[in-house]
Amino acid sequence: MKVNNQRLMELLAEVNQISSDGEGITRLAYTEQEQTALDWFIEKCRQYAIRTHRDAIGNVFGTIGPESGNGILIGSHLDSVRNGGEYDGALGVVAGLEVLITLAESGEPLDRPVTVVAFRGEEANILGGTFGSRAFCGQIQFDDDFIQRLANTPFTLQQVKETAGTEHYSNYLELHIEQGKKLEASSTDIGIVHAIAGIKRLDVTVHGEAAHSGTMGMNERDDALISTAKILLEFERIVKTFGEPNVGTVGELAVHPNLANVVPGQVDFTLEIRGTDIKMMREIADRFSSYASVHHKVTINPNIEKAPSDLSEKLIATTKQVCKETGVDYQVMMSGANHDANSLAAVMDSGLIFIPCLHGISHNPKEYAAPSNIEKGANVLLGSVLKLAAELN
């Protein structure tokens, strides 16, 4: 049994017609575009006689097979970053939909329900990334900060609480582009993810003294931006000493007062560390904090800390077996990016399948995955679902 890749590509092109104006794909979370894409998903399911439902916050589900039993869940998300690409998230949902259509058309009876899901707000920052899947898994912390941020969304507190609903499922599989270069560089068809990197962030303020750029001598300045430059170079050095897969990034700086003729008096930035060993990530953060505090005037506050997630050995073995049986090259690897599979891994056996993307580019209009790689990934997903569906658990 194989997917119909022509139909899969047509479905992907169809959903990607839903976007705000501008380059690439823009289907921001909680906007009209995301909602239209979710409605499109429901309509497509109904066209193929796939049972549908929405939960309290609008995660959408399509199911075939028995009405009850421990279900198999596959999917991803349909929201995007601003001016993003056509594959991040959408590929996993559309490939999951194609798997269900293929299974339904085959007429082969299923011993377990198989469900495709499109989670809301995977890319959203206002409630934190992977919001839809975290709410579905009952992982939301209902503190004052969350309640305050929730007020700027379409959701009520009661809706978020009612969304938790994993009790009917025991497996989750997600197909995704790699968003990196390892598969392409090694000419490997499939990545089987064994772990999703944790994230640790610190909010840092570097203090200096603002001054007139023309009258304050170079040896007299207390330039917060120059101090920041030194801090960031040391941060890079520290991270490199710990080796792969640890990475460290500062991607956003706020310089104050941000004027051409004023020596910067303050710089704010968020520092991020990703890796697969939370103790090592904390040690990197501690070494950075120690250096910055001793050699510069800084204020450092914790931001978020998400522990790494190990994915299911059972699903890794299942996906390996499918690859071997179908002659598809694979490598076992980690994911440096967060995914909905990270949420699901805490409550059920979860797996993540990668396919190559051109030059590793993602979150960018140039994001591209070859149809041949999409077909291989979708067929590995289908094969894995068939093996899981044959298990009565």
Per-residue pLDDT at 125: 79
d(CA 125, CA 147): 14
Per-residue pLDDT at 393: 52
Mean pLDDT by 10 residues, the chain (393 residues): 97 98 95 97 97 97 94 97 96 98 94 96 88 94 89 93 94 97 97 94 97 96 98 98 95 96 98 95 98 98 88 97 97 93 94 97 96 98 96 64
Per-residue pLDDT at 392: 60
Distance (Å) of CA 310 to CA 119, 210, 318, 335: 21, 47, 16, 10
pTM of the predicted structure, to 2 decimals: 0.87
- Number of other CB atoms surrounding residue 304 within 10 Å: 13
Which is it for strands 253-256 and 198-207: parallel, antiparallel or unpaired? unpaired
Per-residue pLDDT at 216: 96
CB distance 79 to 364 below 8 Å: no
